Structure formats: structure tokens, C-alpha cells
Amino acid sequence: MTTIEIIREQADQQNTIYRAICGEQQAAGVTPGEALDALESLLAASGEEPEAGTVIVVQRFRPDVFFTEEQQTRLRELMEQFRTARDAGQELPPERKQELEALVHAEWQAAIQRAHGLLDEAERSKP
């Protein structure tokens, strides 16, 4: 199964962009749909089209019981450091890279827990 993550980034005070990420490939757009379309075009051009069973996760980055505001803030800080290092042709120091990977994993676990909650709620509301 292919997983595509769409995250919202604040480009500056007035502009928001969305970044769609699938593995090492990523594309941006002014809407989540535009970012997804751009990514799918990029993947198709590289011969890496998503499988039929694709999960798309749109990150809203609102704190909740599964992923706190403090975790979100630190994740944003580390992602900015990662992008700065990447753009300079460098890597994050190992301890920051490990912290970033742990936060990404924690956010995935939070997304899974949220999805389970939605499924449970849908099951309870069935007639």
C-alpha cells in the first residue's frame, strides 16, 4: 500500500502551501489537491505511480490527546532545521535526526489512533 502525506506549511505571514510527500518524492501546491496532483504527476513521470490501495493522510497539525502542541512545535522546528541542512547539502546532527524520526513516528502513531477512533465511532453509529 502506498502512503501519501499532505502537510500544511506556512510560506510566510499571508501564504500557505501544502506539501504532498510519498517516500523520497514530494511536490507542493496552494491547495492539498494541487499538491497531490503535482505529486502524482511527478510519480508518474518517474515510473513510481501509487498503488491502487493508496492512503492519503492530510496533516492538520492541531494539538490533541495523541500529539501535543509541544510535540508539534518541536516537529516543526526540526523539520525546518532538516530542510535548511538539506538545502545546504548537509545532514542533521545524529541526535536531532533521531529526535525528528521519533517525532515523525509518534505523529504516525497519533494518526493511526485517530483513525481507529473514527472507525470505532462509525461502527457505533451504524443502525
pLDDT tens for 33-47 read 899 999 989 888 888
pLDDT at 52: 64
| Residue for grid cell 501546491 | 29
The pTM score is: 0.58
Q: Is residue 83 classed exposed, middle or buried when 0-12, 13-18 and 19+ CB atoms within 10 A define those classes?
A: exposed
Query: What parts of the chain have a pLDDT lower than 70?
Result: 1, 11-13, 49-55, 57-61
pLDDT at 98: 96
pLDDT tens for 49-66 read 666 666 676 666 678 899
Q: Is residue 56 classed exposed, middle or buried when 0-12, 13-18 and 19+ CB atoms within 10 A define those classes?
A: middle
Sequence ranges of the domains in the chain:
1-60, 61-127
